[in-house]
Amino acid sequence: MRKLLSIMLISALLLAACNKGNVDGEPNNIPNTLKIEDFFPLTENAKYTYTGEGNEFASYTVYIDYVTDNRIQTRTNNGASEIVRVLEINNGQLTELFSRAETYFRENFTDDEYTGGKVLLKEPLKEENSWSSDENSTTTITGISKEVVTPQGNFETIEVTTENSQGTTIEYYAKDKGLVKSITKGEGYEVSSTLADIENNVPLVQTVTLFYPDIDGINLNTVDVQVSFNTNDEPKDVIEQMVKDLSFYEMLSKNTKINELYFNEKENSAHVDLSKEFITEMNAGAAFEGLILQSVANTLGTYYGVQNIFLTIDGGPYESGHILLEEGEPLTADYSNIKTAE
Find the largest Cα–Cα distance for the chain. 72
Q: Write b or e for each residue in 233-263: b if 16 or more Cβ atoms lie within 10 A of its Cβ, otherwise e.
A: bbbbebbbebbeeeeebebbbeebbbeebbb
Other C-beta atoms closer than 10 Å to the C-beta of 52 total: 19
Q: Is the pLDDT of residue 16 over 50?
A: no
Q: Hey, is 241 helix, strand or coil?
A: helix
DSSP assignment of 266-280, as one string? Answer: TTTEEEEEE-THHHH
Q: What are the pLDDT digits (tens) for 223-254?
A: 999 999 999 999 999 999 998 888 666 688 88
Q: Hey, is 211 helix, strand or coil?
A: strand
Report whether 160 contacts 12 (CB < 8 A). no
Q: Hey, is 257 helix, strand or coil?
A: coil
Spatial distance between the Cα atoms of 262 and 164, rounded to a whole number of angstroms: 37
Mean pLDDT of the region 180-203:
95
Q: What is the pLDDT of residue 249?
A: 60
Spatial distance between the Cα atoms of 144 and 173, rounded to a whole number of angstroms: 9
The neighbouring-strand residues paired with 82 are: 77
Q: What are the pLDDT digits (tens) for 30-73?
A: 555 889 999 998 889 999 999 999 999 999 999 999 999 899 99
On the CB side of 277, CA atoms within 13 Å amount to 10
Q: Is the pLDDT of residue 134 over 90?
A: no
Spatial distance between the Cα atoms of 87 and 274, rounded to a whole number of angstroms: 32
Q: Is the pLDDT of residue 204 over 80?
A: yes
Spatial distance between the Cα atoms of 262 and 243, rounded to a whole number of angstroms: 17
pLDDT > 70 fraction of the chain, expressed in percent and rounded? 89
Alpha helices in the chain (DSSP H): 2-12, 36-39, 235-245, 277-280, 286-304
Confidence of residue 3 (pLDDT cuts 50, 70, 90): very low
**Closest to 96 (Cα-Cα) out of 64, 69, 128, 74:** 74
Q: What are the pLDDT digits (tens) for 268-291?
A: 999 999 999 999 999 888 899 999
